[in-house]
Amino acid sequence: MPQLDAQDTFRLFGGENPPQAVFLCGEDSLTVAKLEQKILKKLTDGGDLADTVFDGQELDLDRLLDACASSPMFQPYNVIIIRDFSPDAVSPSQWDILAETFRTLPPRVVVIVSMRSLPVYEVKRGTPQILPKYKKITALFEKEGVLCICAKKDAITLGRAIMERAKRHGSDISRELAEELANRCLCDTTLVMGEMDKLLACANGEPITAEMLDALTAKLPDADVFQMARAVVAGRGADALQSLEMLTAKSEDSKTILGILSILSGNFIDLYRAKTAMAGGIAQERAAEEFGYPKNRAFAMKNAYRDCRSMGIAQLRTCIRILRDTDKACKSSRTPPRLLLEQAIVRMLRVDKNGNEY
Given 181, 216, 251, the domain boundary residue is: 216
pLDDT for the residue 1? 61
Reported as a single tens digit per residue, the pLDDT across 96-150 is 999 999 999 999 999 999 998 788 887 776 678 898 889 999 999 999 999 999 9
* Gap between the Cα atoms of 326 and 319, Å rounded: 11
pLDDT at 192 over 90: no
Judge if 186 and 303 occupy the same domain: no
Q: What is the pLDDT of residue 48?
A: 64
Range 140-167 average pLDDT: 91
Q: How far apart are CA 342 and CA 172, in angstroms?
A: 37
Instruction: Note whether 313 and 186 are same-domain residues.
Output: no
Q: Establish if 278 belongs to a structural domain.
A: yes
Is residue 357 in a domain? no
Query: Whole domain around residue 300: which residue ranges?
Result: 222-349
99 and 118 together in one domain: yes
The 3-class SS string of 166-209 reads: HHHCCCECCHHHHHHHHHHCCCCHHHHHHHHHHHHHHHCCCECC
**Residue 308 is assigned to a structural domain of this protein:** yes
Q: Are 172 and 210 in the same domain? A: yes
How many angstroms separate the CA atoms of 233 and 349, rounded? 8
More confident residue, 149 or 154: 149
201, 216, 231 — which closes off a domain?
216
12 or 250, greater pLDDT = 12
Residue 164's pLDDT is what?
Answer: 94
Give me the pLDDT at residue 332, please. 82
Report the domain count for the chain: 3
Cβ atoms 222, 306 nearer than 8 A: no
pLDDT at 165 over 80: yes
Report the pLDDT averaged over residues 34-50.
Answer: 84
What confidence tier does 296 reach under pLDDT thresholds 50, 70, 90?
A: low
Cα 83 to Cα 29, 70, 142, 152, distances in angstroms? 12, 20, 18, 20
**Interatomic CA distance for residues 81 and 36, integer angstroms:** 9
Q: Is 80 left (phi over 0), alpha (psi -120 to 50) or beta?
A: beta
Kind of pairing, strands 127-130 and 121-124? antiparallel
Q: Does pLDDT of 319 surpass 90?
A: yes
Contact 170, 205 (CB under 8 A): yes
Query: Are 28 and 84 in a shared domain?
Result: yes
Q: Is the model's pLDDT at 251 over the cut of 90?
A: no
Instruction: Please tell me whether residues 60 and 181 are part of one structural domain.
Output: no
Task: Give the model confidence (pLDDT) of 1-39 as tens digits.
Answer: 668 989 999 999 987 889 999 999 988 888 898 899 999
The mean pLDDT value for 161-173 works out to: 94
pLDDT beyond 70 at 261 = yes
CATH number of the domain within which 289 lies: 1.20.272.10
Q: What percent of the chain has pLDDT over 70?
A: 95
| 263, 300 Cβ separation under 8 angstroms | no
| pLDDT tens-digit map of 200-245 | 999 999 999 989 988 887 665 566 788 888 889 888 899 898 888 8
Which pLDDT score is estimated for 218?
Answer: 64
pLDDT at 174 over 90: yes
Please check whether residues 173 and 74 belong to one and the same domain: no
pLDDT at res. 44: 87
